[in-house]
Amino acid sequence: MTPDRPKHNLLPELSLRTWLLGSHLLVLLLPLLALVGTGALAMDLRRQTRVDLEHQADVLTVLAAEMLAAAPAESAESAELSELGQRFDPLLIDIGARTLASVRIVNTDAQVVASSAGDQLDEFDMSHDEVVVAALRGRTGVATRDRERSTERQPLSSPSRRARVRLFIAKPIYSSPGSSPGSSPGSAAAEPGEPEIIGAVLLSRTPREELQALYHMSPRLIWGLLFALLTTIALAVFAGRLATRSLESLADAARRITHGSGSEGAKLLRSAGSHVDEVRALATATAAMAEQLQSRVEYINEFAGNVAHEFRTPIATLRGTAELLRDDEDMAPAQRKRFLDNALDELERLERLVDGLLALARAEQPHGGGKVVLADLLAALPERWPEVRVTSPQPSAAVEGSATQLATVLDNLIDNAYAHAGPEVEVEVVGLAPGPEGTGFEVIDNGPGVSAANRTQIFDRFFTTNREQGGTGLGLALVRRIVETHGGTIELDSATGRTCMRVWLPVADD
């Protein structure tokens, strides 16, 4: 049965390989998206365009100054820049055609004297342009201005630029080539030989659009992206196989365990050898769970068999008694009483078995995790067992667990000593000081001891040598189970005249 999908989960249910492939492809696209989405590529394209324009402006300023210096003067004074406009026009038109840049040369009055567009000079007054004004004052003028958007955009393959802005660069032209661009403009009062600003060169150009730049890079970029795509897919497939191989093994083992196969623990442990830490941790935890489930199944099967065996005898006795009483109406009263007494004895035995099984089941549950001081636990014994000699440990320690269950351990051990050694036996409880093995207590009696044949099964469920006196064989089994659920151990040390049950429990953390 497939579990219902949570309503709040909006993500599709896909395989791990698909998620890995998708995430790897997204990571592959992230640099490109970041390059375009953050505007970094656009800024770099503008920077490149500005650098190109500045280089062209530097060349043109030097060229204009040299052409002016070489021009024949009609008077004693040097020729003016305005007089060279017609000589500059063919050069600027050629530059504009080759570089797609707009080039203009202005004089000191900010009037255009030459242009790459061949415009009429009397129609161009640049005195209102802050870029030109900055250049005529001896600085480099720079501006980025929005373009007028046309309804028809150029295709990506066109040499025309598609960006929404246009860059403007203006640099001053000095009367002497090689003069410092930072020098102040000349004037009529300037000293002889001092460079003076005689005009400026203005260039403008539209930078490439991001998509246009990517299009022109596509011949090489496609091969690089193809290689990166294939590498990404290969890595995603490899990572998916690496991660899902052990997960598929775990899923297969879990399905087999669900269908009753309990031999998958080794396979799960082999899956724990994955190169992925999380998968290895999951496999280890699942293997431990499978082993625990298998152990629990074996425990339940054995337990059910023991219970069936123990219940079969009293039930058979009760059934036989009921049939005899039903069939023999003329049975003598004394015989009838004897049969009824036997039936009551069997009912009492069943009641003790049920009580013992319930106590054993409660011992399987978590004990709560409180702290129990061993000295306090032993100090309460004389109220229940006044004839038992108690020696508390020095120093005393605390253990993690249930005081009620640990008191049950003491009561069952003491009761077992009296039940098997007789009422005249002397019983002593000695507390154990904390040490490397933990802390705990010993229940010692001076009875006849436990035979060698019985020592290996004395803590087994339903094992008893006192069945005629009503023993169920659950007392010591309950003791062992409680001790084990508290993380401890129980030991038997028995010889003729002395039997010692020793319980070790881990010391609680401070």
CA angle (35, 36, 41) in 5-degree steps:
65
386 within some domain: yes
Nearest CA-CA partner of 65 in 172, 141, 142: 172
State residue 181's pLDDT score: 42
Task: Render the burial of 78-91: b for 16+ CB within 10 Å, e for the rest.
Answer: ebbbbebbeebbeb
Nearest CA-CA partner of 64 in 180, 183, 173: 173
Q: Which tens digit of pLDDT belongs to each residue from 280-295?
A: 777 777 777 777 777 7
> Which stretches does DSSP call E strand in 286-437?
371-373, 389-391, 398-400, 427-435
Who wins on pLDDT, 245 or 416?
Answer: 416
Average pLDDT over residues 133-143: 92
User: How many CB atoms are closer than 10 A to CB 252?
Assistant: 14
Distance, in Å, from the CA atom of 54 to the CA atom of 46, rounded to the nearest integer, reads 12
Q: What DSSP assignment string belongs to 395-415?
A: S--EEES-HHHHHHHHHHHHH
Q: Which tens digit of pLDDT belongs to each residue from 337-370?
A: 887 888 887 787 777 777 777 776 676 665 666 8
With contact defined as beta carbons under 8 Å apart, do 232 and 24 qualify? yes
Say yes or no to pLDDT of 170 above 90: yes
Average pLDDT over residues 203-224: 75
pLDDT category at 271 given cuts 50, 70, 90 is low
Percent of the chain surpassing pLDDT 90: 9
Distance, in Å, from the CA atom of 304 to the CA atom of 60, rounded to the nearest integer, reads 104
User: Which tokens go with 497?
Assistant: 């005249």
Domain harbouring 42, CATH code: 3.30.450.20
Give kind and range of the element (H or E) at residue 223: helix 210-258
State residue 15's pLDDT score: 72
129 within some domain: yes
The residues that bridge with 173 in the sheet, in sequence order, are 199
220 within some domain: no
pLDDT category at 187 given cuts 50, 70, 90 is very low
471 within some domain: yes
Instruction: Tell me the pLDDT of the chain averaged across its residues.
Output: 77
With contact defined as beta carbons under 8 Å apart, do 448 and 497 qualify? yes
CA angle (429, 433, 439) in 5-degree steps:
85
Q: Which tens digit of pLDDT belongs to each residue from 93-120?
A: 888 888 888 888 888 888 888 888 775 5
Say yes or no to pLDDT of 152 above 70: no
- Residue 37: Cβ-neighbour burial (10 angstroms; 0-12, 13-18, 19+): exposed
> Which stretches does DSSP call E strand in 335-479?
371-373, 389-391, 398-400, 427-435, 438-445
Question: How many domains does the chain divide into?
Answer: 2
Domain harbouring 373, CATH code: 3.30.565.10
CA angle (485, 487, 490) in 5-degree steps:
90
The range of the structural domain enclosing residue 44 comes to 27-70+80-147+160-185+194-208
294 within some domain: no
Distance, in Å, from the CA atom of 508 to the CA atom of 115, rounded to the nearest integer, reads 94
53 within some domain: yes
This prediction has a pTM of: 0.48
State residue 190's pLDDT score: 45
User: How many CB atoms are closer than 10 A to CB 232?
Assistant: 19
34 within some domain: yes
Distance, in Å, from the CA atom of 500 to the CA atom of 492, rounded to the nearest integer, reads 6
Q: Which tens digit of pLDDT belongs to each residue from 54-72?
A: 999 999 888 888 877 776 6
Q: Which tens digit of pLDDT belongs to each residue from 19-65?
A: 777 777 788 777 777 766 777 777 888 888 889 899 999 998 888 88
Average pLDDT over residues 479-500: 87
Question: Of 9-18, 314-323, 477-486, where does the model show the most confidence?
Answer: 477-486
Phi, then psi, of 165 in degrees rounded to 5? -125, 165
User: How many CB atoms are closer than 10 A to CB 321?
Assistant: 19
With contact defined as beta carbons under 8 Å apart, do 393 and 373 qualify? no
Distance, in Å, from the CA atom of 116 to the CA atom of 470, rounded to the nearest integer, reads 121
With contact defined as beta carbons under 8 Å apart, do 402 and 367 qualify? yes
227 within some domain: no
Nearest CA-CA partner of 467 in 356, 310, 315: 310
Say yes or no to pLDDT of 172 above 90: yes
- Residue 160: Cβ-neighbour burial (10 angstroms; 0-12, 13-18, 19+): exposed
Q: Which tens digit of pLDDT belongs to each residue from 430-463?
A: 998 888 888 999 999 988 888 887 887 888 777 7
